[in-house]
Every structure is written in structure tokens, then in C-alpha cells.
Amino acid sequence: MATKNWALDPAHSEILFKVKHLVISTVSGSFGEFSGSATTPEDTFEGGDISITIKAASINTNNGQRDGHLRSEEFFDADNHPEITIKTTSIEQVSGDDYTIKADFTMRGVTKQVTFKGEYGGTATDGYGNKKVGLEVTGKINRTDFGLNWNAVIEGGGLTVSEDVKLVGNLQFTEQ
């Protein structure tokens, strides 16, 4: 069985998140700077490895004031913890194009195992002859597990920001 090495193509990938605000609406954001690689047996992700590094300071919620607060010590503490890393510990094909992905997720110096769902997008060759492979990854973390504890109680006892954060990675890799 041949092993293939892949580099993440950031121009055709995105890393997104969604979090409830005031329990009534969802705020979405993304990270603009990230890199990664994958090693796979042939063209399947089963039994492979994926590593992603995200620059915490590259957060973008389309609101400069909020982005500054998220970079601060109250949230990402991006000056002291500039990177968020995700390193798979197992990738299992559940059925068809569906995968269960377990990974060590490190943020603010805290590492926890997180389980993601993966959907294999297939392979294609681009107009330059480069072989590409796609994977959509979804999951959820509790931000307080990683030391992102800031919150404020609102009228009626609710919290300003949910502890649960939904994550989505639309990842395209180029064969090396």
C-alpha cells in the first residue's frame, strides 16, 4: 500500500466557527492564516494523519472591536498562545464518504481530545495537473475546557457567549 503526502491548500480551504450570542443568535467567524498536511494510504483518509496549525491572531468575525477582544487575554491570549493546533490520533471510515476523526486539539496551551465528523469530498486533478483531495470536518468544543472563560451574565440569568463552539473545516489538500 502506497502512502501519499498532501499539503493543505489555504487558497481553497477555510476554517470557520459559530457560537451563540445572548442565546438568541449565532455569531460566525473564521481564521485567515493556517497551514497543514496530511498523510494517507492511497486516496482514503482511513488510517491517515492530518495536522493543522491555525494562527489565533488571524481571527475574523467582521467586527474589529470584537476581534481585538477575542485576541486578548480574556479569550485566545494570542500574544502568549499564537497557535491553535489539531493533530489526528485516529481516522476511521464509518461508511461511504463518512469518517470519524479523533484529534488532539490544543488551544491556549491546553490539549484535549476532540471527535470530529469528516465527509470525504473525493479527488480531482486541477487545470495545472495537481492532484487534489477534499474533506469537510465538523465538530464542537467547549471553549472553557481550553481556558476561554470570559463571560457576562445577562438579564434573566443567561450568558453573553455560549460555551459550545461549532467548528467547520473545508479542507483541500494538494498531493506532494
What CATH number has the domain bearing residue 30?
A: 2.40.128.110
Note the pLDDT tens digit of each residue in 83-106. 999 999 999 999 999 999 999 999
Q: How far apart are alpha carbons 86 and 103 in whole angstroms?
A: 6
Look at 7-11, 75-79, 97-101 and tell me which has the smallest mean pLDDT.
75-79
pLDDT at 133: 95
Q: Are 67 and 75 in contact (CB under 8 A)?
A: no
- Report the number of distinct structural domains present in the chain: 1
Mean pLDDT of 129-153: 84
List the domain range (segments joined by +) for residue 55. Answer: 3-175
Contact 160, 152 (CB under 8 A): yes
Sign of CA dihedral 131, 114, 91, 109: positive
Q: Do 55 and 83 form a contact (C-beta atoms < 8 A)?
A: yes
Does residue 22 surpass a pLDDT of 70? no
Mean pLDDT of 57-80: 93
pLDDT score for 58:
98
In which band, very low, low, confident or very high, does the pLDDT at 156 lie, cut at 50, 70 and 90? Answer: low
pTM over 0.95: no
32, pLDDT greater than 80 = yes
Name the pLDDT band for 132 (thresholds 50, 70, 90): very high
Q: What digits encode the pLDDT tens for the residues 39-60?
A: 998 778 999 999 999 999 999 9
Judged against a pLDDT cut of 80, whether residue 10 lies above it is answered with yes
Please say if the pLDDT value at position 153 is more than 70.
no
Give the pLDDT of residue 12: 97
* Distance (Å, whole) CA 50 – CA 39: 7
